């Protein structure tokens, strides 16, 4: 029953959303060059199905690569900040200031710095836009570790690595996976920003830009739906990993 609910409820919600979207376009009599409806989007998917498969893969692997880099760097930086108050006080203002800069303004700079390095530019932007929540969550999780646990384990002769592996790491996992869910969507934003701002004939961002140039609104909305679908898939992969490695932290309903 829980599995049916976890699958059925999101599907019903999606169907209701699409039905409301179709009704909204119909009742307002909007033409498809103003607001495409779901019934307009499916023909665009079918017409350009080969491009969606090709460009969807291009966007997906670069997003996953940037996200993986964000996990490695964000976790390492968060560990350093979590265990050292001096480092945390010094880096927090820098990280907050960097994260406050609109990434749409960073994309042209990266594109000019590494002209022609399309894959690297896209992965780099996906990384830059998604590592911040991971680093902060890991840092907070480690910095709020109860000192009593560390004192007890140290009195029993446990090393710092043992304390980290037995206490600090499990305690940080819920915060880590919570931040990873946010980072997944941010990584897609970064990928598509680079694909649109620096056209290089790859990715769903390029397909969206082509639809915009040709005023093909159903194609543009189809690209948005494809991006949403990829984001949902990656999100539920993170949910699966969370339940596998940190399922103990999930609250059960009574």
Reading the block at residue 123, the tokens are: 């992965």
Q: Where are the domains of the chain?
A: 41-249
Tell me: the pLDDT tens digits for 188-215? 888 888 888 776 667 888 888 888 888 8
Q: Which residue has the higher pLDDT, 167 or 24?
A: 24
Percent of the chain with pLDDT over 90: 11
Query: H-helix or E-strand containing 253?
Result: none
Tell me: the pLDDT tens digits for 115-138? 777 788 888 888 988 888 888 888
In sequence order, the 6+-apart residues with CB closer than 8 A to the CB of 209 are: 195, 196, 199
Query: Does the pLDDT at position 30 exceed 90?
Result: no
Rounding to the nearest 10 degrees, give the CA dihedral for residues 62, 63, 64, 70: 110
In sequence order, the 6+-apart residues with CB closer than 8 A to the CB of 150 are: 163, 167
Tell me: the pLDDT tens digits for 221-232? 899 999 989 998
Closest to 161 measured CA to CA, from 152, 172, 150:
150
Query: Does the pLDDT at position 64 exceed 90?
Result: yes
- pTM score, two decimals? 0.83
Query: Does the pLDDT at position 251 exceed 60?
Result: no
Averaged confidence pLDDT in the chain: 82
> From CA 153, how far away is CA 168, in angstroms rounded?
12
* pLDDT value of position 1: 55
Give the SS3 label for residue 229.
helix
* pLDDT value of position 248: 64
Domain 41-249 fold is MetI-like fold (1.10.3720)
Tell me: the pLDDT tens digits for 35-44? 888 888 888 8
* pLDDT value of position 61: 93
* pLDDT value of position 78: 85
- CB-CB contact of 48 with 207 (8 Å): yes
* pLDDT value of position 136: 86
Tell me: the pLDDT tens digits for 141-186? 777 766 676 677 677 776 666 766 777 777 788 888 888 998 998 8
> From CA 8, how far away is CA 215, in angstroms rounded?
36
Tell me the C-alpha to C-alpha distance, in Å, between residue 60 and each of 114, 191, 196.
21, 9, 15
Tell me: the pLDDT tens digits for 74-119? 888 888 887 788 888 888 888 888 888 887 788 888 877 877 777 8
* pLDDT value of position 254: 45
Q: Tokens 């999101």: give the residue.
A: 10
Query: H-helix or E-strand containing 230?
Result: helix 217-246
- The DSSP result for 83-117, as a single string, is H-HHHHHHHHHHHHHHHHS-HHHHHHHHHHHTTT-
Three-state SS string across 134-176, please? HHHHHHHHHHCCCHHHHHHHHHCCCCHHHHHHHHHHHHHHHHH
């Amino acid at each position: 029953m829980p599995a049916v609910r976890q699958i059925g409820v999101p599907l019903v919600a999606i169907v209701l959303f699409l039905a409301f979207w179709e009704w909204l376009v119909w009742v307002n009599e909007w033409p498809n060059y103003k607001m495409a409806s779901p019934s307009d989007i499916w023909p665009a998917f079918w017409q350009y199905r080969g491009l969606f498969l090709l460009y969807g893969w291009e966007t997906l692997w670069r997003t996953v690569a940037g996200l993986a880099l964000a996990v490695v760097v964000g976790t390492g930086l968060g560990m350093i900040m979590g265990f050292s108050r001096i480092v945390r006080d010094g880096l927090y203002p820098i990280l907050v200031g960097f994260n406050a800069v609109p990434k749409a303004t960073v994309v042209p700079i990266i594109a000019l710095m590494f002209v022609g390095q399309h894959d690297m530019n896209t992965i780099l932007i996906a990384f830059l836009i998604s590592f911040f929540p991971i680093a902060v969550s890991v840092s907070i999780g480690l910095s709020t570790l109860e000192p009593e646990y560390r004192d007890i384990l140290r009195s029993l002769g446990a090393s710092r690595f043992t304390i980290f592996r037995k206490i600090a790491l499990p305690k940080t996992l819920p915060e880590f996976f919570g931040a990873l869910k946010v980072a997944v969507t941010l990584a897609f934003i970064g990928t598509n920003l680079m694909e649109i701002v620096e056209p290089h004939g790859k990715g769903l961002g390029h397909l969206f830009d082509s639809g915009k140039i040709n005023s093909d609104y159903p194609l543009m909305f189809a690209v948005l739906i494809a991006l949403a679908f990829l984001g949902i898939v990656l999100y539920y992969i993170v949910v699966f990993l969370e339940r596998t490695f940190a399922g103990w932290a999930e609250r059960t309903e009574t």
